[in-house]
Amino acid sequence: MTIEIGIVGLAQSGKTTIFNALTGGKSDTRSLAPHIGIAKVPEPRLQVLADMLHPKKVVPAEVSYIDIGASVKDLGGGKGVGGQILSQLSNADALIDVVRSFADESVPHIEGSLDVDRDIATANLELTLHDLGIIGRRLEKIEESLKGAKPAERQSLLPEQKLLTRLKVGMEKELPIREMGISADEARLIANYQFLTAKPRLIVVNIGEEQIAEADSMQEELNARYARAGSRVITLCGELEMEITQLDDEAAKAFRAEYGLPESGLEHVVELSYELLGLVSFFTTVS
């Protein structure tokens, strides 16, 4: 099973750096083109079982990451994002929202200053506007279809109209769909729309090297504000994590020790993604 995770964020937030770190790729961080890469899911127990059972082949689970290239600001109004990119993002099982916290005078923040809370709010707004656009268009079609509709057709359309209206009211109050407590039946009713605010979301705060010492406290504070049903926050230094992926195991271990990084931030990203999706690893063997 391969899960798909879409990577969004403002321009110059480090989306492609995070993508390269997760996939071990070398995509151009200046490119606005979409990138797709595969990462193996780290699972220490898999190797233990392999050593015990000696299977002919060991196949770890995989995660497919989609870096849309364009800014999340291009999603709300549907401008600047092609249909193929939107389709890939809509089909994703979850989203990673990359938020910039690192300082770099050579690459100024598009808003002119660093503000994690502001950028999270901006992403929330753009994703909400995207979904509201879909709901608005569908409600217009339903209203038109109800004119002169037969009883059987009305019976099919009215529950959808009621649910979409409820979602619209909630999102206009800045509440994402994933926090609205929709039932399993309601989820099936709107599944085809692939709403972005219905997807689990992991906020990755991309910090600078000088912030590593305070990364844990920053992560705790941000989770206190933003951790909700289907949403978590993690802090990591994308630039360092990308460098580490180019090293062998021993060099990577020494590198982490030098910078005081006890564990792989990338492995934590995968673990949290699985947690948000409610996934559990199962192991099978074939003799």
Q: pLDDT digit of tens for each residue in the chain (287 aa)?
A: 678 999 999 989 999 899 988 887 765 555 556 688 887 766 555 555 556 665 666 556 778 888 877 677 777 555 555 566 677 788 899 999 999 999 999 999 999 999 999 999 999 999 999 999 999 999 999 999 999 889 899 999 999 999 999 999 999 999 999 999 999 999 999 999 999 999 999 999 999 999 999 999 999 999 999 999 899 999 999 999 888 888 888 898 898 888 887 677 777 888 888 788 875 554 455 55
**Element of type H or E holding 155:** helix 151-172
What DSSP state is assigned to residue 106?
T
Report the pLDDT value the prediction gives residue 283, as an integer from 0 to 100.
46
Domains in the chain: boundaries: 2-277
Give dist(CA 70, CA 89) in Å, integer. Answer: 11
256 contacts: CB under 8 Å, gap ≥ 6: 244, 262, 263, 264
Report the pLDDT value the prediction gives residue 29, as an integer from 0 to 100.
53
- pTM (2 d.p.): 0.86
Among the CATH numbers 3.40.50.300, 3.30.70.360, 3.40.50.720, 3.40.1120.10, which is that of 2-277?
Answer: 3.40.50.300
What DSSP state is assigned to residue 69?
-
